[in-house]
A = this chain, B = another copy of it.
Amino acid sequence: MIDNKYDIILDAASQVFACEGFHKAKISKIAEIAGIGAGTIYLYFKNKEAILEEIFLRSWSRIESKLLEMKKIKNMTPLQKIAEITGEIIELIYSNVSVAKILLYEYSFWNSNKKEKLSKTVENSQKLIEELITDGIKANIFRKDMNPKDATMFIIGGVWFWIASKSDDLLSYSKEELTDTLFNYIIYGLK
């Protein structure tokens, strides 16, 4: 059980954002779920946006550090690395399902200008995925007629949508099952 207020608020906010979307989510509802007064939230966060920002940052940071870890490892094929990363994403989802829906939902309006730190993290992750794909192409494992950036975006969208569509049912599958399914879509497409 989480016991510091900061994290309690983040957790409550994740739930509310996930089910209402950021804009329709009410601070009062977040406070209610967190079991505190609405004003208290402002002792921990500058404003509503700052809550979402922190949720974003935490999740993306986790993905980013997994990507960095994979980048450093030398004796692993791009395929194995992608499997590892897929696993990490599933772990993330498992640890907080509601985050999944939010994570990329607000994405396209946030990664543009906005918060320096956040967009750097997201951009970094994208770059790292791109590099990984480029490696795979060079190693003759992936298709040559492919733009790594395009592929990255296609994959991110695919993963997100797939997760969002399952959302609540997600926990009824094993992590292994989910990782495997996701990995196959990324790698093989329909055939």
Annotate A139-157 by CB proximity to B: 1 below 8 A, 0 otherwise. 0011101110111011111
- Within 104-153 of A, Cβ neighbours of B (below 8 Å) are at 104-105, 108-109, 133, 136, 141-143, 145-147, 149-151, 153
User: Is B158 a contact partner of A154 (Cβ separation < 8 A)?
Assistant: yes
> Which B residue sits closest to A141, measured CB to CB?
B191
User: Is A190 a contact partner of B157 (Cβ separation < 8 A)?
Assistant: no
Task: Specify which of A108, A142, A157, A188 lies most central, judged by the most chain B CB atoms within 10 Å of its CB.
Answer: A157
Contacts of A101 in B (CB 8 A): 108
Q: Does A184 contact B (CB under 8 A)?
A: yes
> Which B residue sits closest to A21, measured CB to CB?
B109
> Which B residue sits closest to A133, measured CB to CB?
B190
User: Is A142 a contact partner of B191 (Cβ separation < 8 A)?
Assistant: yes
Distance between Cα atoms of A164 and B21 in the complex (Å) = 19
User: Is A151 a contact partner of B190 (Cβ separation < 8 A)?
Assistant: yes
Contacts of A143 in B (CB 8 A): 184, 188, 190-191
Contacts A104-B108, A105-B109, A157-B157 known; A145 to B184 CB distance under 8 Å?
yes
Q: Does A160 contact B (CB under 8 A)?
A: yes
Distance between Cα atoms of A187 and B146 in the complex (Å) = 13
Chain B nearest CB from A185 CB (Å) reads: 5
Mark A residues whose CB is within 8 Å of B: 20-24, 82, 101, 104-105, 108-109, 133, 136, 141-143, 145-147, 149-151, 153-162, 164-166, 181, 184-191
Since A108-B165, A156-B161 are in contact, a sample of 15 more A-B pairs with Cβ atoms closer than 8 Å, ordered by chain A residue number, is: A104-B157, A104-B161, A105-B105, A105-B109, A142-B190, A150-B181, A153-B161, A155-B158, A184-B189, A185-B189, A186-B189, A187-B189, A187-B190, A188-B188, A188-B191
